[in-house]
A and B are shown apart, each in its own frame.
Chain A
């Protein structure tokens, strides 16, 4: 098998790549089946959307970010058939079930966040921390918030979970980028 000639670190990714590619192509076919003439932006959106969903479904609901990505995608009614196509009717149900608790959880978490923010503002007005450790903590906290905004569904995670999700998300993003890049270069080379 030619796969054995590759470096060993590629081995765990190759199966993921294959899975991602399969699901992505399924989703793309479903997309193009529905709409005939699309503008370039719509096409791009459809491509990216199906790629994201394929990536998330490749995780099979093991990670938080994939679940929240799928639930966010299935909230919009227009593209839900794409999601179903990629996920398959059986596995879509647990994703749909997760929608409801995340809504409630999101409302609760928003309330908690608001109160925390208010408390933090009061604390900041009271004491401007001059100790280096608290400054460092402040910086880290800010960056952690940024990271939470980047990762889908990151607002609901605690720190440990966030870092694990980041790890997983980065690897899956890399797989996605790699597959898309090879496909793009192939199609570019073909149309030259």
Chain B
């Protein structure tokens, strides 16, 4: 989180939205780079892909791979954008695949195949076809692999790797897009996740969606790991979650404890604060926090002296004892916490506090 804040350099108030913006920016740059990488060898991929398609036997299997990504876009995005789609995937969906699909009559269930490649019409057809072809696909995964191994191995791998990167990136962009609900930038951003079946993994749409979701979760878990101190060394989700839970619980306990301490120290809640805010601004020139607070706290100390007459003061004094005892304990407890937390030490935070008060006054 701190790295993101440092690199982005934005001055936004909300850290979560800032993080998202940074992630969006980074992912955008990423998408541009990857797009450039992808479009350059697009022709090569096209040739290899059509070469794959010309292979006689498992054309159905090959066709599964491409309509799978098409179908997934239907699954993931309610309103797919045709132009985006065309812009991103130059090679398979323009003419070659559609013609062959029509020829092989796999999409016999739905007769209206437009060569103009309207993805809307393509999706239901591919869905039907994949539903029919699930079993043959699963029965011959080995054959797919063998064929993929035969023909242009590195390009396929590159493609799958690029798709993997892109799907990770697209996951975050997709999230930002759905949050922003704006798909005007068609050339730059894609509004849906492109997930590609990797080698040796199931091409089931559910598993692909599941995988995309899992990667989203893993990305966010990494952020959490960076945030919580001592979590980056731990491997394994359960232990990391344990640490996170402990951290949240300790923070909540600290809040409780500090509020108790504040309640004990101050006889009334707002005495302290009134004295802070009624102080003259002339005494604020020195940045020393204790120096600033001391002259302002004198009225409060006098108030304390006045209140000694009241019987409540005995109660206050009685409570004072355990508070001081607890304070020592909490000092020991908090200094390791200070070292663990990625914050500055309490000294710096105190100076920050003084600056805040200065700015308010």
**Interface set of A (CB-CB < 8 Å, partner B):** 1-3, 6-19, 21-22, 25, 28-29, 31-33, 37-38, 40-41, 43-48, 51-52, 59-60, 62-63, 136, 139-140, 143-144, 146-147, 150-151, 159-160, 163-164, 166-171, 173-174, 176-191
Contacts and interface: CB of A to CB of B under 8 A. Distances in A.
A92 B264 CA distance: 31
Contacts of B11: 11-12
Residue among B315, B353, B359 having the largest count of chain A Cβ atoms under 10 Å: B353
Interface of B: 1-2, 5-6, 11-19, 213, 216-217, 220-221, 223-224, 227-228, 236-238, 241-242, 244-245, 247-249, 251-252, 254-256, 258-266, 268-270, 272-273, 287, 289-290, 293-294, 296-297, 300-301, 304, 312, 315, 319, 327, 334, 341-344, 346, 348-353, 355-356, 359-360
B349 A182 contact: yes
A152 to B, nearest CB: 10
Nearest to B327: A188
Given A12-B13, A62-B16, A183-B353, A31 B269 contact: yes
Given A16-B15, A189-B290, 14 more contacts: A8-B2, A32-B269, A37-B312, A48-B259, A62-B14, A150-B248, A150-B252, A159-B217, A166-B244, A167-B220, A173-B255, A178-B349, A180-B262, A190-B300
A177 B254 contact: yes
Contacts of B350: 182, 185-186
B6 A168 contact: no
Contact of A184 (B1, B262, B312): B262
Q: Which applies to chain A's interface (DSSP): helix, strand, loop or mixed? A: helix
B264 A181 contact: no
A44 B266 CA distance: 10
Contacts of B2: 8-9
Nearest to B298: A190
B264 A40 contact: yes
B252 A173 contact: yes
28 contacts: A3-B355, A8-B6, A10-B348, A12-B18, A18-B359, A25-B270, A31-B270, A40-B263, A43-B263, A51-B259, A63-B16, A136-B238, A140-B241, A143-B242, A147-B244, A150-B249, A160-B213, A168-B15, A168-B16, A170-B247, A177-B251, A177-B258, A181-B346, A181-B349, A182-B346, A182-B350, A184-B262, A191-B301
A190 B297 contact: yes
Contacts of A3: 352, 355
A52 B227 CA distance: 21
Nearest to A55: B255
B344 A10 contact: yes
Contact of A190 (B237, B268, B294, B334): B294
A2 B348 CA distance: 11
Contacts of A62: 14, 16-17
Given A43-B269, A143-B241, A180-B255, A191 B221 contact: no
